[in-house]
Amino acid sequence: MSAADVWYIGVDQVPESLAVLLDGRDRARGRRILGETDRQRFLAAWVLTRLVLGERLGVDPAMLSFDRTCAHCGDRTHGKPVVETAGVGPDFSLSHVGGLAVVAVSDRAVGVDIEDATAGEQPLASALTERERATCLSYTDFARLWTRKEALLKAVGEGLGIHPRRIEILGSTPVALPEELGSPRDFALCDLPLPAPYVGSLAVRGPQPSLSVRGGAELVGDAARLVPRLWSPTRV
């Protein structure tokens, strides 16, 4: 059975000093983010992603670089990020919302999405099919379903480039997909056990993976202790 590894971290658990792990492109993206909270969330997600991928690939996390070329239009800023330095590497996907950042890694195409189940926003009814709407009795139901849809759309690298109503998910089973994405039976979805109030889902191409979900506090803490020895602050 193939595996999918998921790591999560509280945004405030990632010290600013770990920004040394980011490369010039990451830092330029970070500078374009206007709000301090959004910038911190971006930092947390990408530090965690670098640490997890660095460990998995056995490389210095600061030496990784990422390609974000969109498969449709060739724009280099909004495609699914892939590891540029790994040759044929694992696939990964990340999501950051409120105070939490999550990264998923797998040998198969993978997508992850999280939401705050207490956000209490107006559920986006236009994103759901009629049968899906009937399964949403609360905002939490909607948030869970939304993460399943978005995780699947991120696994295939489309994101919201495909209207979410074009895919239908009942329970945690995909039942309809646009033809170009393949058969709904080609994908598996898993709910993620995350700290409240967050809900999240993982999608992989292929059968149900063996799933591991871990907090990344120790990984981040170890890296923070190594900063002065391994990574020069002049990278910031």
Contact residues for ligand COA, defined by CB under 6 A:
42, 45, 70, 72-73, 78-81, 93-97, 113, 150, 154, 157-161
Q: Toward ligand COA, which CB reaches closer, 162 or 175?
A: 162
Minimum CB separation of residue 63 from ligand COA in Å reads: 18
User: Which tokens in the block code for residue 226?
Assistant: 């190594």
Buried b (16+ CB within 10 A) or exposed e, 122-139: ebeeebbbeebeeebeeb
Minimum CB separation of residue 229 from ligand COA in Å reads: 28
Q: For ligand COA, which residue has the nearest CB?
A: 159
Q: Toward ligand COA, which CB reaches closer, 63 or 73?
A: 73
Q: Toward ligand COA, which CB reaches closer, 75 or 226?
A: 75
Q: Toward ligand COA, which CB reaches closer, 5 or 113?
A: 113
Taking each helix axis from N to C end, the angle separating 36-57 and 217-230, rounded to the nearest 10 degrees, works out to 90
Alpha-carbon span 20 to 40, nearest angstrom: 14
Minimum CB separation of residue 3 from ligand COA in Å reads: 20
Strands (E), the chain: 3-10, 66-67, 82-83, 91-97, 100-106, 110-116, 168-170, 173-176, 187-192, 198-205, 210-215
Minimum CB separation of residue 102 from ligand COA in Å reads: 8
Minimum CB separation of residue 99 from ligand COA in Å reads: 13
Our CA angle for 188, 215, 196, nearest 5°, is 75
Q: Toward ligand COA, which CB reaches closer, 25 or 133?
A: 25
Q: Which residues contact 221 (CB under 8 A, 6 or more apart)?
A: none
Tokens 């239908």 appear where? Answer: 168
Minimum CB separation of residue 159 from ligand COA in Å reads: 3
CA dihedral for 15, 46, 92, 164, sign (positive or negative): positive
Q: Toward ligand COA, which CB reaches closer, 156 or 219?
A: 156
